[in-house]
Amino acid sequence: MRQVTFDDLVRLPVVAFYEDAFRKATGVSLKVVPPEETSQRLSFGLGENGFCSLVGGTPAGCAACVETERRVQRLAAKKRIPQQVHCFAGLTVVAVPVLVGGRHVATLLSGQVFRREPTERDFLMVSQMVEGGQLAEWESRARRAYFETPVVTADRFQAILQLLGVFAQYLADYASRYAMACVETEPAPVASAKKFVESHVTEPITLAQVVEHVHVSRFYFCKLFKKATGMTLTEYVARMRVEKAKTLLVDPSLRISEIVYAAGFGSIPHFNTVFKRLVGMPATEYRTRLRSQTPV
């Protein structure tokens, strides 16, 4: 199967749009970054917190920022769930992993906010740590930016996490669909077979049916399909049915048993096994995460 990479995701126009819209709606920065730990300080561009930008321009501040970003990225990669840490200056940084079939493809890096009102004493301690001989003008700009940093209440912070979770799930679902989609360079029999499966995914599908539909020999088709997609027809059908099930799981009125058969699976145990293997979690957990990410 085509492996979706970080570069595939960041090329999506929706990424830049969401980063900008998220900042305007919440006042909080957001950047989609690679899943690996950073070796250099990550810049949030126009959406970056002004104080973080100033501190990141000092040797001590830059080193501290890199360590914070590496720590939160490391936690997100290890635990595979949203993580938050506090930097040396008292700001909260958030990392939300984008998981595709259990594979960590990207990370949503956000935060740079206070969870409580900062004090003059707080600022003086931070300033002494990073100023490093900076001019009085730097301290004046840093002070202003420090106290202009958003202070986020518990409820608002939870809503921000939910929005990040929704976007992470959207990117993960896109990656899954991208991996299954037809491409222009695919052989005609492969493209035709994919369209056949898409049209009949909720029905029983056999290799004989597909071979008859694409008008090539069984041996040739199996070899061609495997080479073009990296998977067998059976695996492809299973993945298509899982994608169908994921769309149905959004509807809270549908029982899992109903979704199993509506997505074309013949039994609940088979569905449970395939869904967990391809998505990286049971269907019940996937639905729970969808609900927790959707603001009431």
For residue 162, being part of any structural domain is answered with yes
Q: How many domains does the chain have?
A: 2
For residue 28, being part of any structural domain is answered with yes
CA angle 153, 25, 95 (to 5 degrees): 65
The per-residue DSSP string of 25-47 comes to HHS-EEEEE-SSPPSSPPP-GGG
User: Which of 147, 177, 207 represents a domain boundary (last residue)?
Assistant: 177
Cβ proximity of 15 and 9 under 8 Å:
yes
Cβ proximity of 17 and 45 under 8 Å:
no
For residue 1, being part of any structural domain is answered with no
Cβ proximity of 120 and 143 under 8 Å:
no
Per-residue pLDDT tens digits for 94-128: 999 998 767 888 999 999 999 999 999 999 888 88
pLDDT of 135 reads 65
CA distance 2 to 234: 16
Same domain, yes or no: 79 and 166: yes
Same domain, yes or no: 32 and 173: yes
Torsion region of 99: left, alpha or beta (phi above 0 gives left; psi -120 to 50 gives alpha): beta
User: Is residue 1 predicted with pLDDT exceeding 60?
Assistant: no
Same domain, yes or no: 128 and 223: no
pLDDT band at 66 (very low <50, low <70, confident <90, very high): very high
pLDDT of 151 reads 94
For residue 103, being part of any structural domain is answered with yes
pLDDT of 133 reads 53
For residue 256, being part of any structural domain is answered with yes
User: Is residue 278 predicted with pLDDT exceeding 50?
Assistant: yes
Same domain, yes or no: 208 and 119: no
Domain region containing 245: 183-293
pLDDT of 107 reads 94
CA distance 18 to 14: 6
Structure tokens given for 36: 């690996």
The CATH number linked to 259 is: 1.10.10.60
User: Is residue 86 predicted with pLDDT exceeding 60?
Assistant: yes
pLDDT of 218 reads 95
pLDDT band at 293 (very low <50, low <70, confident <90, very high): low
Residue 126 dihedral angles phi and psi, to the nearest 5°:
-65, -45
Same domain, yes or no: 278 and 133: no
pLDDT band at 130 (very low <50, low <70, confident <90, very high): confident
10, 44, 188, 205, 220 from 20: Cα distances, Å: 14, 11, 40, 44, 49
Same domain, yes or no: 22 and 156: yes
Same domain, yes or no: 104 and 208: no
Same domain, yes or no: 131 and 213: no
For residue 224, being part of any structural domain is answered with yes
For residue 173, being part of any structural domain is answered with yes
At position 204, the amino acid (one-letter code) is P
